[in-house]
Structure 1
Amino acid sequence: MFDVKWIRNNPEAFDASLKRRGAEPQSAHVLALDDARKATVQQLNEWQGTRNASSKQIGQAKAQGDEDKAQKLLAEVADLKAKVQQGEETERTQTAELNELLAGLPNLLLDDVPDGADENDNVEKSRFSEPRQFNFEPKEHYELGEQLGQMDFEIAAKIAGSRFVVLKNDVARLERALGQYMLDLHTREHGFTEVIAPLLVRSEALFGTGQLPKFSEDAFQTTDDRWLIPTSEVSLTNLVRETMLSHEELPLRFTSLTPCFRSEAGSAGRDTRGMLRQHQFYKVEMVAVTAPDKSLEEHERMLGCAEAVMKGLDIPYRVMRLCSGDMGATMMRTFDIEAWLPGQNTYREISSVSVAGDYQARRMEARYRDENGKPQYVHTLNGSGVATGRALIAVMENYQQEDGSIAIPEVLQSYMGGQTEISAAK
């Protein structure tokens, strides 16, 4: 959501940001709707003032015995009452139309976001480690998992359909270990508060983080107007909805390990093999709530928290600055971490770390009082810390051995009861 006053004062900057996203300019439309609403409100105030004055004169006319004047004034008041009721309905309609337009507009882009059309125009920010050289042809994760007898897509399809998987035995335990490792890292070393929050949320929660109204097709809705969360960003960010925080409370940092549910409506034919793009997957999420002047600093910090996961696992990765055409609609800037997958011989996204500014806060009415006691909207950030399913893929492919076994990264061995490898099937 946007502050119409800001758009009125900065129409060129507003339209320029939309143009960078490939969208049409909207400032003139927004301001025309707001002007019409303001004109209606002004007319209502005038009618209401006239009505109040006439109502007082009715009593005076009756006191003076001027019944004709009193009846005339009564007729005027009745006419004004009808006009006010109609005007109030018009104002409600105009406000709803304005809010609907504002709710569907993407966030402003920061100046340092690269311009571009799609993922091919993203810009590398940094990278960690070089891909390992194998003396054998590395396999993809699903080949390894199926050979181990611990990754079953066929039975999952019988249970739930495509884009699901059943993990068993040590592979299932390895994904659980990844989640525990990430939570411990973020809570013990990075200052995040662990949260267990609802997986089912109301429409208002999805609206608050920006998934509604435009992206409903990407989520699963229940029959009682609840939604399965596409990411725990929804639950964690909405922890501050409709609140007034103090500046001393900021920053707030939350983390959670949850299943996530996505319809993958726009990904037909993409990544149909394996676990890369599932309807159900696990992810450790990070959310931060900050004062406006601290949000960009927090963005870099949060990126570092996600990178620490990858460094601890010793998985080669690169950090990409997403370009304007590849950015999520609700975010001002996004960094993606892409893990090296030797089975695919390419880098694939394993984490997105983003800053939303006050875009979500306005939708949630999440504010704080600054040092002068003035109410301000908070800034929100979120990032994968990281997607455990994709981390499992990265570990399996980078730590595979020639006989089909999987070496277990040192940082995970304590979570695996001291186990050092997942043995090849005999």
Structure 2
Amino acid sequence: MHDIRAIREAPEAFDAALARRGDAPVSAELLALDEARRAKIHAAETAQAEQNRASKEIGRAKASGDEAEFERLRGLVAEKKAEVAAMQTEAKELDAKLNDALMRIANLPADDVPDGADEANNVEVNRWGEPRRFDFTPKEHFELAAVQDGMDFETAAKLSGSRFVLMSGGVARLHRALAQFMLDTHVTENGLTEVNTPVLVRDETMLGTGQLPKFAEDSYQTREGMWLIPTSEVTLTNIVAGHTVDESYLPRRYTSHTLCFRSEAGSAGRDTSGMLRQHQFEKVEMVSITKPEESDAEQKRMLRCAEGILETLGIPYRTVILCTGDMGFGAKRTYDIEAWLPGQNTYREISSVSTTGDFQARRMNARFKPADGGKPQFLHTLNGSGLAVGRCLIAVLENGQQEDGSVTLPEVLAPYLGGKTTLSVEGTLV
């Protein structure tokens, strides 16, 4: 959410920053609403002052016995009281309208974010690992003999519809092992605090991280009005919603493994094969809450946490900084990590690590008290996948595939798999 005072001070700069995202200018509309709101507030205050003066004069008129003046003043007080109530109502309506408009405007990109219209303009900043050279044509994950019995899309479609998968046997255990490995790494090596969060949340929780009001169609809502989270960024970030914490409380670094749900509105026809794009999936999320001056360094630290998972698994990847036209609504700067998928012969996103600045904190009214006793400031919030579990499973399967359809697994997962290191063509761990 944006600060209307900052827009008042530099409307042209605000519109120019939105233009970098490809968004139309909105400052004139916002400032007109703001001016009308402030005018109503001023008029209400003026009428309130007149009402107060008339109220004081009523006593004097009554004491002097001036019945005509007493009745005139009584009528004036009633008139001003009605005026004040009406103008306060109008001011609240204008305030709500302005607040809603501000809630629907994307975050402003950081100065170092490259300009561009779409993913073609993203800039690679890092690359790790050499894609394996195969003596055969590598297959996509769902084509491998090792997963034929353990990755059932047909039964899942019968149960729930398209874009769901039923995993069983060795595939299911491997998927679980990956999530456990990620959590253990983030807790024991990266210093994050594990949190087990709800997956059903209220409107205000989704509003705080930017899923509402603009992107309601991208998420699932229950008949009772609760929302299924698209990521535990929603719950982890909202831990500080409505709070003013001490500076000593910061930074807070959280991680959580949850089910996630996305309607994938507008993605018809995209990535329909296999389990790359699902309505229900699992993710190990990272969230950091920091002071403003530490958020840029924190984003780089989080990025290394996510990259380190892939390096330990031996999965080649590349890291790109997203251009202005490809960033998410709430992001100020985003790095995507893309894992190499030999079955597709390309890199595909497996993690996004974003800083939102104070964009989410303003929506949540989350602040901190500086240690020096200064005025409370808005916190900075960051989020990142550490990693998407299903996509990591795809990367492990495709990079470890053998010509006979079995899969050689990363050694680091052996402790989570009872010492097993291979997913056989029968779908069992050996």
Q: TM-score, normalised by structure 1?
A: 0.99
CA contact (8 A) 1:121 1:323 kept: yes
Residue 241 of structure 1 aligns with which residue?
241
Post-superposition offset of 1:147: 5.2
Instruction: Report Cα offsets for 1:77-100 as digits up to 9, x if no partner.
Output: 111111111101110111011001
Residue 355 of structure 1 aligns with which residue?
355
Task: Work out the CA distance in 1 between the residues paired with 2:321 and 2:221.
Answer: 32
Post-superposition offset of 1:9: 1.4
Post-superposition offset of 1:27: 1.4
Task: Work out the CA distance in 1 between the residues paired with 2:37 and 2:216.
Answer: 29
Aligned partner of 1:312: which letter? Answer: T
Confirm whether residue 390 of structure 1 aligns to residue 360 of structure 2: no
Task: Work out the CA distance in 2 between the residues paired with 1:96 and 1:337.
Answer: 39
Instruction: Report Cα offsets for 1:208-264 as digits up to 9, x if no partner.
Output: 000000111110000111000000100100111111111011000000001100001
Post-superposition offset of 1:148: 4.0
Residue 125 of structure 2 aligns with which residue?
125
CA contact (8 A) 1:351 1:387 kept: yes
Q: TM-score, normalised by structure 2?
A: 0.98
Partner-residue secondary structure (3-state), 2:77 = helix
Post-superposition offset of 1:18: 0.6
Mapping of 1:152-163 within 5 angstroms? 152-163=152-163
Residue 417 of structure 2 aligns with which residue?
416
Residue 313 of structure 2 aligns with which residue?
313
RMSD of Structure 2 on Structure 1 (CA):
1.0
Residue range with higher mean Cα deviation, 302-311 or 78-87:
78-87
Aligned partner of 1:269: which letter? Answer: G
Residue 258 of structure 2 aligns with which residue?
258
Task: Work out the CA distance in 1 between the residues paired with 2:414 and 2:148.
Answer: 19
Partner-residue secondary structure (3-state), 2:325 = helix
Confirm whether residue 405 of structure 1 aligns to residue 406 of structure 2: yes
CA contact (8 A) 1:109 1:324 kept: yes
Aligned partner of 1:181: which letter? Answer: F
Structure 1 residues without counterparts, runs of 5 or longer: none
Mapping of 1:278-289 within 5 angstroms? 278-289=278-289
Partner-residue secondary structure (3-state), 1:12 = helix
Task: Work out the CA distance in 1 between the residues paired with 2:159 and 2:40.
Answer: 57
CA contact (8 A) 2:338 2:348 kept: yes
Post-superposition offset of 1:28: 1.5
Confirm whether residue 92 of structure 1 aligns to residue 108 of structure 2: no
Structure 2 residues without counterparts, runs of 5 or longer: none
Aligned partner of 1:268: which letter? Answer: A
Aligned partner of 2:134: which letter? Answer: F
Instruction: Report Cα offsets for 1:337-361 as digits up to 9, x if no partner.
Output: 0000000000000000000000000
Instruction: Report Cα offsets for 1:33-80 as digits up to 9, x if no partner.
Output: 111111111111111011001001001100011111100111111111
Instruction: Report Cα offsets for 1:165-200 as digits up to 9, x if no partner.
Output: 011111100010100000011001111000001100
Post-superposition offset of 1:17: 1.1
| Distance change in 2, residues 1:186/1:147 (3 Å) | closer
Mapping of 1:27-426 within 5 angstroms? 27-144=27-144, 148-373=148-373, 374-425=375-426
Post-superposition offset of 1:146: 6.8
Aligned partner of 1:415: which letter? Answer: Y
Post-superposition offset of 1:8: 1.2
CA contact (8 A) 2:333 2:355 kept: yes
Task: Work out the CA distance in 1 between the residues paired with 2:147 and 2:79.
Answer: 82
CA contact (8 A) 1:148 1:404 kept: no
